[in-house]
Structure 1
Amino acid sequence: MLKKMILSGALALTTMSMTLAPAIARPLEEVISSGVIRVGVNPSLPPLGKFDEKNEIVGFDVDFAAEIAKMLGVKLEVVQVGSPDRIPFVASDKIDFVMGAMTRTTERAKVIDFTAPVHTEVLGVLTTQAQPYNDWKELDTADVTFVQVRGSTPVAFIEENLPNAKMTLLDNYADAVRALAQGRGTAMIDVIDFMGEYMNRYDSVDWKIVETPIDIYYCGLGVNKASTGLKDWLNVAIYDMHRRGKTDELWKEWFGIDMIAPVQASPYF
């Protein structure tokens, strides 16, 4: 999924950087004086964001943003965004910052700024302790059958990088993890953090995350390049939340597992 692998927002970045003129963004003092901070959350990326039974957006991103608002002494306004419009919303000052698996990339950084990392996403291999693999490259053999979601990005990755392995394609993540739990496949490649909810449904399975990850993505808050003072304050707040364990607490509450590659609290940013 790579949470749809940085999703379709990347497709528009080149055009966006050419067409979006720098907007006047609210400086930190204006955010404080207004009493409200506007945060973009994508409800199609559970458990980062999703709709609850009241049709309200909830999730890790909402709770993290609520803690930020509390620290700043303002109210939180959650603004629904999608993958294609989340960066334009920041660049045009419709929101003060955006969440939703905002992986830092050089292309995105041409259009918006990023804070220090809030969390990571580990692209890796999920299997069971019965399997001997310690490095993802060891799975390039005909003895391995990957269980993957049809149409997801890792399918193409496996075809290109692990061509000797077999694949079973299923329609959704619940079915794929169930098949793996039932022994109908050897392993699964995806952003493993998002598999915690499904893994916890099979607590009798001795799950294993292959030690060597394929990649680690660092996700921060996306802010307007003209948001004077706000990014600096957010960096201090993010550090404080890492330092006192609040980010890890919220992550485990929503993902059901610890962050696989925790962001280390560092005063240097």
Structure 2
Amino acid sequence: MRRAFRSAFFAVLALSAGLIASLEARADKLDDILSKGVVRITVFADVPPFGMMNAKRELEGFDVDMARLVAKSLGVKLELVPVPAASRIPFLLTDKSDMNIAAMSITAERARQVMFSAPYADTSLAVYGAKALAVKSGADLGKSRIAVAKGTTEDLVLSALAPSADIMRTEDNATAVQAYLAGHAQLLAANSVVVVELAKQNPAKEFDFKFALRRAPAHITIRRGEHDLLRWLDTLIFQSTLNGDLDELHKKWLGGPMQPLPAL
């Protein structure tokens, strides 16, 4: 009896030691970033004003400036990794980036794969088209083709709202916009802030609001389990809200002061 008890005791002890060693061996992403002196951040290159290429072929935009703020606050170099919407989470899961700052809004499905920071920007998603097109809800879509970037929140919401609609899913946001501008689609599902920029750049094209899909605050996303990094990001967002850094970014890129954001 005693021998069996001792064997069981030592087995549990060995298991606990192995578990502790495993946890200690597991790299902490925040420590890893600080140790390497570099943070890799995925951003958009085709979604103004969040991320786009300027005339010098340099990345700029709200999220790009947010990424620079993160790197500066960490005291490390910044490596920007431009990706299409559908690649944002895969790049995190395959360790091709340390975090995602690319206008990503929260969904329960995404939260099964990644963790979301507190929101840092507030936007909304909606459907747009020509003024003459009588569409006021998902039920009115009928045979009107609607362009949307694959893997975006607007794609997910639209698919659930109108599964039988003629949805033209493109590889990235720029292709969805071009499909609408060229007349290959009669409607466009997009971020409200993005549409403001598109209307300025394409005055001959109508971007009449048809119906809202959902409010969509933007969050920084990281791999599940990186709680130290998540806490640091939440702290940075809180500090940047208090000291006015986020307000300045809103005025610079989104056309107005930062409004109160919902708590996560």
Tell me the TM-score range normalised by the shorter chain.
0.5 to 0.7
Identity of aligned residues (%): 29
8 A Cα contact 1:39 1:76, kept in partner: yes
C-alpha offsets along residues 40-69 of structure 1, whole Å, 9 cap, x if unaligned?
A: 112122221112233332221111110111
Alignment of 1:90-105 (within 5 A): 90-105=92-107
Change over 3 Å in CA distance of 1:119–1:160 after alignment to 2: farther
Shift of 1:124: 4.7
- Look up the equivalent residue of 1:91 and give its one-letter code: L
8 A Cα contact 1:25 1:226, kept in partner: no
Change over 3 Å in CA distance of 1:172–1:44 after alignment to 2: closer
Structure showing the higher helix proportion among its residues: 2
Distance 2:250 2:78 in 1: 19
C-alpha offsets along residues 206-261 of structure 1, whole Å, 9 cap, x if unaligned?
A: xx989x95520122011011324111000010112222332232233224x227xx
Distance 1:27 1:151 in 2: 30
8 A Cα contact 1:242 1:264, kept in partner: no
Distance 2:231 2:90 in 1: 21
What does residue 219 of structure 1 align with?
218
Change over 3 Å in CA distance of 1:89–1:190 after alignment to 2: closer
C-alpha offsets along residues 48-93 of structure 1, whole Å, 9 cap, x if unaligned?
A: 1112233332221111110111112112111122223221211222
What does residue 246 of structure 2 align with?
247
What does residue 197 of structure 2 align with?
197
Ranges in structure 2 where 5+ consecutive residues have no aligned partner = 1-25, 130-135, 166-174, 182-187
8 A Cα contact 2:43 2:64, kept in partner: yes
8 A Cα contact 2:125 2:215, kept in partner: yes
Change over 3 Å in CA distance of 1:89–1:214 after alignment to 2: closer
8 A Cα contact 1:121 1:192, kept in partner: yes
Larger Rg: 2
8 A Cα contact 1:26 1:96, kept in partner: no
Change over 3 Å in CA distance of 1:79–1:202 after alignment to 2: closer
Distance 1:238 1:118 in 2: 6
C-alpha offsets along residues 159-197 of structure 1, whole Å, 9 cap, x if unaligned?
A: 999xxxxxxxxx9869x89xxxxxxxxxx9753211232
Q: How many aligned residue pairs are there?
A: 224
RMSD: 4.6
TM-score w.r.t. the length of structure 1 is 0.60
8 A Cα contact 2:101 2:219, kept in partner: yes
What does residue 55 of structure 2 align with?
53
Change over 3 Å in CA distance of 1:215–1:61 after alignment to 2: same
- Look up the equivalent residue of 1:264 and give its one-letter code: P
TM-score w.r.t. the length of structure 2 is 0.61
Alignment of 1:68-217 (within 5 A): 68-124=70-126, 190-199=190-199, 214-217=213-216
What does residue 264 of structure 1 align with?
260
Distance 1:151 1:25 in 2: 34
